[in-house]
Amino acid sequence: MRPTHPSSPCLPVPTRRGGRCIAGSAWLLLVLAPVVAMAQDKAAPPPGCARLAQVAQALHLAGPGTAGRYQCDLQQRTPVGQVFALRYQGPEVRDGSSNLVGYYEVDRRTQAVHPWDLATGKRAAEPLPADAMPPPTVMACGLAFELPVHYRVTKPRRTEGVDGMRLCAFDVVPAKMPPRELECKDKDEGGSSPYKVCDWAIDGAKAWPTVQVARTRIDIDHKQVDPFQFENGAWRLPNAQADAEAAERFRFFGKRAYRGETVTRMSWYRTRIKSSESIYAGTGTTQAVLMQLTPQLAVVLVDPPADDSAGGVTECRIFCKSLRAAGRSGDEP
């Protein structure tokens, strides 16, 4: 074995030929690596903790007028989320210790917060009041936005458009899908046997995802980003009844954008009986917006979620106003 310097610590490591020596800084890194890893794991907050602290601040769960900090400790994982012990640390606690506020489960899909009963191992039937809580921040396709807890986003879908233009799309849907409305159609209405099976559903007027992000410059490249198409010097939307009119240019919460209305044909179709038949159901309309979010990213919104009822008119305000680039280039199209 090669002699080592007396001041260099040496750690013998067994090998197939008898052994070798790890000396100096290499030995020190080998010893400290597990300690550093444990410290990093401990420092990283568990998923859901930030949401719980945000809710606690908004609802003053530690008591009226409290303005200190909240911290949480992961207690257990559940099929739908995680249970935390919520503690409060503020000027009211003179010795600097943390007072236990309670136990709460954070639903990882809806971000709703439910009080948790340790004795029964069950959460409360009703979550904390969502209208008093700030909506959670959600990120998808390189975008960040606030989304009320009664909505959720679907898994992003990545594709390529015209001339290899990269696209990323997702839908915003209710967190709890309402039951589908099915109808009966007799012979006079164009239905087919068996008539007593009420399984006719109508396809929606919306044939495009809620949000589509494209890497393009809309006023320079003029590349098609469905449902918008650039024709005869203007952005236009499909119209099943007439010639497509030019989209209107306007300011969308401070961002330059185009807006218009799609008009598409709709049909009744069977959901339980295998049949290729369909019944014409008229036309439907959807609102669409095309905007340049950043110098390189364009965004199309089709029928965005109506999430605010201010002034007696329910419109997309929370989601639409908060829409911004997330600053995560790896998630962008």
Among 71, 104, 132, where does a domain finish?
132
The verdict on residue 22 lying in a domain is yes
Q: What length does the chain have?
A: 333
Sort residue 131 into left (φ over 0), alpha (ψ -120 to 50) or beta.
Answer: alpha
The verdict on residue 26 lying in a domain is yes
Mean pLDDT of 220-236: 95
For the CA atoms of 64, 68, 74, 80, the dihedral, rounded to the nearest 10 degrees, stands at: 50
DSSP-assigned states of every residue in 66-93: --SEEEEEEEEE-SSEEEEEEEEESTT-
Tell me the pLDDT tens digit for each residue of 296-308.
999 999 999 998 8
Shared domain check, 314 and 279: yes
The verdict on residue 292 lying in a domain is yes
How many structural domains compose the chain?
A: 3
DSSP 8-state assignment for residue 153: E
> Which H or E run includes 51?
helix 49-59
Q: Range of 26's domain?
A: 10-43
C-alpha 116/C-alpha 225 separation (Å) is 46
Shared domain check, 319 and 238: yes
Tell me the pLDDT tens digit for each residue of 307-333.
887 767 788 999 999 999 998 888 999
Tell me the pLDDT tens digit for each residue of 4-40.
444 444 545 454 445 555 444 444 444 444 444 444 4
Q: Is 206 helix (H, G, I), strand (E, B) or coil?
A: coil
Give the per-residue pLDDT at 166. 95
Question: In Å, how far are 61, 287, 292, 293, 294 from 298, measured between CA atoms?
Answer: 41, 17, 4, 5, 7
Phi, psi (deg, nearest 5) at residue 318 = -65, -55
Has residue 290 got a pLDDT over 80? yes
Task: Please state which of the ranges 38-47, 132-141, 204-213, 257-266 shows the lowest mean pLDDT.
Answer: 38-47
Mean pLDDT of 128-147: 83
Give the per-residue pLDDT at 36. 43
Shared domain check, 109 and 68: yes
Give the per-residue pLDDT at 21. 52
Shared domain check, 284 and 171: yes
Assess contact for 210 and 296: CB atoms under 8 A. no
Shared domain check, 150 and 122: no
Mean pLDDT taken over the chain: 82
C-alpha 137/C-alpha 10 separation (Å) is 51
Question: Which percentage of the chain shows pLDDT scores above 90?
Answer: 40
